[in-house]
Structures are given as C-alpha cells and as structure tokens.
Amino acid sequence: MEVRVRFAPSPTGLLHVGNARLALYNWLFARKEGGRFLLRIEDTDRERSFPEYERAILEDLRWMGLEWDGMLRQSERLPIYQDYARRLLEEGRAYPCYCTPEELEEMRRRYLEAGLPPRYDGRCRHLTERERRRLSSEGRRPSVRFLVEGGKTAFHDLIFGEQAFGNEQLGDFVILRQDRTPTYNFACVIDDHLMGITHVIRGQDHLPNTPRQIMIYEALGFPLPQFAHIPLLTDREGRPLSKREGATTVRGLRQQGILPVALANYLVLLGGIEAKGEVMGWEEMREAFRLEGISRQGATFDIEKLLWLNRMHLRRMKGEEISRELSSLLGREVDGEKLELFRENVTTLLDFADFLPILEEEVPPMKEEARKLLEGSDAQEVVAVALRVVEEGVRPEGLLEAMKRRTGKEGRALFLPLRAALTGRTDGPALGDILRRLDPPKVISRLKRALVPEEDGTKGI
C-alpha cells in the first residue's frame, strides 16, 4: 500500500515552528517511505480564514523545501460534507439539533457548576417529527449532531501507544453547523478517507479529537488510518508556542537570516530522534527519521540552539548556495566571493548583510563600540599615523607591517583602532584579509572619518 500523509493548516495566521515541524515530519515520512505528501487547506472557518495567510503558508513551505504532491481546499468541498451528513441522518447515526447558543451556554454552565466536564445532554436526540417542524417554524436553523453510543473507543497511537476514551464523556457532538459548514472533526474524516490518507501525523493536542473521528470512520464504514500524535513544542517558560508570536513563525525566522536546512535540522532534533551527529543535511535527516523514534516528551524551542546549528550549516555550505539564499533574503544579487571573507564570523545570513558594507561602501556605518574606542587619544594617534603612511604611498595590503615599524605597536593596541577606523566595528575577519580587498581611496576616506578634528574638539566620527 502506498503511504499517503497530509499537512492540514488553517489559514488563520502565519506558519509557526510547531506546525512547520508537523509538516516536516509528514514530508520526511512520505519521502522515506516512497509515498505522497499532500496539502489540505482547512478554511471552513469563514470569519478567521484569510487568503493572505494561505499564500504566506504556501510560500513558507516552499522556502523550507517541503514541496507537496497534491492540494485541496475544504471551502471548495462543502457539498461533499453535506452529502455525508445527510447519509448519517438517514441512517440514524446523526440528528438535527435546534438548541440555541444561549441554551448551550446554560447547559455548559450547569455541568461546570456540578464539577463535570461540559458536554451536550442529548435533549434534541429524541425529538419527534412534529417537534422538529414546530422548532423549524419558529425560525430555528438546526445543526447536525453525531449520535454517540455507549462504551469506549480505543486505538493504538504510534507514539503514545494504547489509548482509550469513555464515549459517555464525549457527548453527541456537532458535525455540521447551522450554516451548513462542517466542523473540524467531520471534515477531517471525510477528507482523510477520500484522499486515501494512511497515516495521520499531527500534534498531541488532537489526541482528544481522535475518538470522535474514529466513531465517524466506523459509522461511515471507512477503514482507519494509523495515528501518530507528536508532543507539542513550548517556549522556555513551558508555554505552547503561538502562531501570533513573530519570533516563532517560520517567516520571522527567515527574516532573521535562518537557513531552511538549519531550521529543519533543529526541528528533527526536537523530536528526540537518534542520529549520527547533530548537524544534518536533508539526506541525513531522511535517513535518521523514524516515527517510532519520536520521543513522547515535549520539547523546548531554544533559539540559541537553532542559531548554533545555523552557524554550523553556513560553514558547511558552498559559496554559491549562501549567495543564492542571501540574494533571496535581501532581494538583490550578492557576490559570493565577497561572502567567503566573513564565513567564519557569521551566525545568520543577516550577519553577512551586516558585514558587506565593509567591502561595498566607501565608508561603512560606524557602530557605537567602535565610535567609543576611537575617542581615546591612543587610538587617535594610531589612526593619524596610518593616514600619513597611506598618503605617503604604502598600499593597503602593506599597511599593518608599515605601522608596526612606524609606531612600535602591535597586537590589540595597533589592530583595534585600525579595525574600528577601517570597518566601523570591533569584530570581524582578520584585518589583513580586509585590507587586501580595499583600495587606497577607501582606506584614506575611512581613516579621515575616524579622526577627531583638533581645532574645535568636535567629533568627526
């Protein structure tokens, strides 16, 4: 049997890393098993679903490299769900419910006051045809509820093992709303069946939905898929990650200069999956991934660990690959040869962008720590001597040796003022490597910028 999995986002917000992890696990499983990875847009919530979020989710999945083998939208399939609901009504497995929101809220309040979990009390289950006609004549539009029978629903989860739920705790649940749109559990079952889904891989928060869905599967005579519920991601305070927190969205991480392969690598590690090493490329991730190897323990999203992995991947990547990623991020072409100079000094793609003015601009911006360093008299003396040396005709690549001879200084006392003056910062690649890439006019302009005019004491930096 061909393995078929799906990722089913709701376009109610940007793709956050928790859902990206689920998409990745489905994709890796399909690719490892030679199966198909399908996409389903669950957009039946008309008030909260927006096409711009759908576009953003698709763009982020493509950026991650998670190409899909087929796609559908639930909003385009409403007649299908209505037909299956009609079938359950005809077979007595569902019934119309005429309860108003106020009546349902009162029902909920009574259960909570009694210390019981809220559920529907079944009051519309045994209405006669005459009572239903009367309620309809009053203008009440019915929803459709699934009739839950007694007993329990059990299943095997590939991550959490054997699971069992008492049906009486669930109550009769809505499968079709008053506006004739399907609820999540109902549409999910219909689509998973019609899409031929063999493995439902999703977040642990959907574990309580599974018994309801199994009841629908069985009522319609559908074969059950296998279920695998993935423990959720939390932040350092133990709170669930939210799609509304920019720092934890895929788009936010991309804008910070994170690589898709580094993000995927980290999300695989968060599953507790055993691998030969922590730094993995796509092929290594496919080889290491096993559903049964995913830990039952929740995982904490640690941005520092992700940044470390990003740094490791930047050091492994080819120059043209880095150039392509950075050009895409900045929206302009970037010379890959220039990037090689900074490879050992960067953690993200944005760090490259921060370093590039050293080579590209006549006078790069001055960072505050460099500005303060250059205010000292010793630093000013070094810069003044360097300016005279260059104006006397010494080439940039020979400046450091000439300065050692002229000043008798070496080490930090010499290099830090020169670095601050020539690059506008106190960190970066070897100063000699930078000087070999600068022409004399740039060096002179930067040294002049770093000098404080003596006549009025104002700062020229």
417: in domain: yes
User: Which SS3 state, helix, strand or coil, does residue 164 take?
Assistant: strand
409: in domain: yes
What pTM does this model have? 0.90
Dump pLDDT digits (tens) for 294-352: 999 889 999 999 999 999 999 999 999 999 999 999 999 998 889 999 999 999 999 99
Q: Taken in order 455, 376, 357, 436, is the CA torsion positive or negative?
A: positive
Write down the catalytic residue from 32, 243, 318, 409. Answer: 243
243 noted as active-site residue:
yes
73: in domain: no
Q: What is the pLDDT of residue 460?
A: 39
Q: What is the pLDDT of residue 246?
A: 52
Q: What is the pLDDT of residue 339?
A: 93
69: in domain: no
Q: What is the pLDDT of residue 444?
A: 98
Q: How many structural domains comprise the chain?
A: 1
- Is residue 158 within 8 A of residue 292, CB to CB? The reply is yes
Q: What is the pLDDT of residue 461?
A: 39
422: in domain: yes
Q: Domain with 396 in it: what CATH number?
A: 1.10.10.350
Alpha helices in 196-281 (DSSP H): 209-220, 250-255, 260-269
Question: Which regions of the chain are under pLDDT 50?
Answer: 454-461
180: in domain: no
Domain that holds residue 395: 368-450
Q: What is the CB neighbour count within 10 angstroms for residue 295? A: 14
115: in domain: no
Cα(404)–Cα(424) distance, integer angstroms: 21
- Is residue 323 within 8 A of residue 303, CB to CB? The reply is no
388: in domain: yes
The DSSP code sequence of 55-113 is: HHHHHHHHHHT---S-EEEGGG-HHHHHHHHHHHHHTTSEEEE---HHHHHHHHHHHHH
